[in-house]
Structure 1
Amino acid sequence: MTALACVSDVETRLGRTFTGDEAGRVAVLLNDASALIQSYTRQSFSPPTSDTILLRESAGVVRLPKRPVTAVTSVVLVGINGIPDITVVGWGWDGLDVVDVSGWDSVMVNLPEAVQDRSWLPATYRVTYTHGYTAVPAGIVALVCAMVGRTMAAPSAVSGVTSETIGSYSYRTAEPGMGVTVALTAADKAFLDDAGYRPKAATTQVRLR
């Protein structure tokens, strides 16, 4: 996996250059932060590529899971119970991530009777589409750097630090054996949700045969 930001991105934001040991640790933290974001959003933020996937219809549409979608090139209704695959015409794409398959059968002729009465629903579609980013979005780079910066600025090399001050007396304890790691906070998740990086679930992806 390629990190979604680089060491120099963090250095620029913190206004300093890391030493050799620090740079090595930052590189690891960048990978960790990138993995957390990709896992939460279910997006790879990789360069444009073409994919063929199986999706179940829901309310007349299939929602494409990877973003941003740049093109939809083929929609095929997957055959079942002896019915062959049917290349669909008349489908519509909203320019974002939704393919409308609700009315394609009305513009096609000589369809098998089982398809006409939809007795074998839920329908599964094989969709070929292109998706991906020419560059990692600036908001994602900023979030990765913020996650790493928070970790680098932690007051202790140990997580679970608890401190308390009473008058002139203060003390601090820490849980042993726990290294500071990057974390995706509730605010981070809200940003990813609001920015649309985490797609809404509307259809089910099934395994390609």
Structure 2
Amino acid sequence: MSLPPLATQADATAYGYTLPPTTADGLLNRASARIRRAAGQPITSSTSTVRLEVTDGTVTLPGPPVTAVSSVLGVACDGTTTALEWWCWDGSTLTVPYGTAQVDVVFTRGYPVVPDGIVELTCAVAARLAATPAGAEGLLRSRQIDDYSETYATEAIAAAGDLLPGERDALEDALGTPEAWMTRSQ
């Protein structure tokens, strides 16, 4: 499934970035893919079904932020599923009856609206990709023709396929601390 880009051409313009009109969509898609890969967690809201082990009556759901749990089924040793009499999700932990070994959980994770920090970062990465010399994308370190030569810094070569350290820092700032996710305010 192809996910939508995390930003649009209009977003880039609003944040002061100029992208080539003929390649803007592709640049935003590439930037979005790199940001999603570096994030290591869902950004765009999606519904998932997973089978998870239960430990001491609790289950930790993968891929924060989790915004909703819609269904929890107990899984028997033979793989059959049955609805649990009760379960409780408090925004961070799913609690199920003791004695339940595995559960199938249907839940929603990711952000209903992409955070502004991620939108701006996507535009910045797309603008950097637009300005990256073609030689850097092919991992060419230097080239020389007669008395003319170009040399790319190794950081630029490495960054051609990834996020720069400052971009990774901005991504971490936008996503928050992985150990503590706020999914709703009280």
Taking structure 2 as the reference length, the TM-score comes to 0.67
Q: CA contact under 8 A between 2:50 and 2:106: conserved in structure 1?
A: yes
Q: Which residue of 2 aligns with 1:88?
A: 84
Q: 1:6 to 1:181 in 2, by over 3 A?
A: farther
AA matched with 1:138: D
Q: Distance in 1 between matches of 2:70 and 2:35?
A: 29
Q: CA RMSD in A?
A: 3.6
Q: Which residue of 2 aligns with 1:183?
A: 162
- For each residue in 1:8-50, what CA deviation from the matched residue of structure 2 results, as whole angstroms up to 9, or x when unmatched? 222333365x5xxx22222211111111122233444334x54
Kindly indicate whether residue 25 of structure 2 is the aligned counterpart of residue 27 of structure 1: yes
Tell me the CA shift for residue 81 of structure 1: 4.6
What secondary structure does 1:187 align onto?
A: helix
Counting only pairs closer than 5 Å after superposition, residues 151-190 of structure 1 correspond to structure 2 as 151-154=129-132, 156-159=133-136, 160=140, 172-173=150-151, 181=160, 183-190=162-169
AA matched with 2:122: V
Tell me the CA shift for residue 197 of structure 1: 6.3
Counting only pairs closer than 5 Å after superposition, residues 1-209 of structure 1 correspond to structure 2 as 1=2, 2-14=4-16, 16=18, 18=19, 22-47=20-45, 49-58=46-55, 60-81=57-78, 85-96=81-92, 98-101=93-96, 104-105=97-98, 115=99, 123-154=101-132, 156-159=133-136, 160=140, 172-173=150-151, 181=160, 183-196=162-175
Q: Distance in 2 between matches of 1:198 and 1:35?
A: 21
Q: Which runs of 4+ in 1 moved over 4 A?
A: 197-200
Q: CA contact under 8 A between 1:91 and 1:100: conserved in structure 2?
A: yes
AA matched with 1:51: S
Q: CA contact under 8 A between 1:69 and 1:95: conserved in structure 2?
A: yes
- For each residue in 1:107-164, what CA deviation from the matched residue of structure 2 results, as whole angstroms up to 9, or x when unmatched? xxxxxxxx4xx8xxxx32111223343322211101111111223344x4431566xx
Q: Distance in 1 between matches of 2:115 and 2:57?
A: 31
Tell me the CA shift for residue 58 of structure 1: 4.8
Q: CA contact under 8 A between 1:40 and 1:198: conserved in structure 2?
A: no
Q: CA contact under 8 A between 1:29 and 1:181: conserved in structure 2?
A: no
AA matched with 1:33: A
Q: Distance in 2 between matches of 1:9 and 1:66?
A: 26
AA matched with 1:152: A
What secondary structure does 2:44 align onto?
A: coil
User: Any gaps of 5 or more consecutive residues in structure 2?
Assistant: 143-147, 180-186
Q: Distance in 2 between matches of 1:186 and 1:77?
A: 43
User: Kindly, what percent of the aligned residue pairs are identical?
Assistant: 32
Q: CA contact under 8 A between 1:43 and 1:198: conserved in structure 2?
A: no
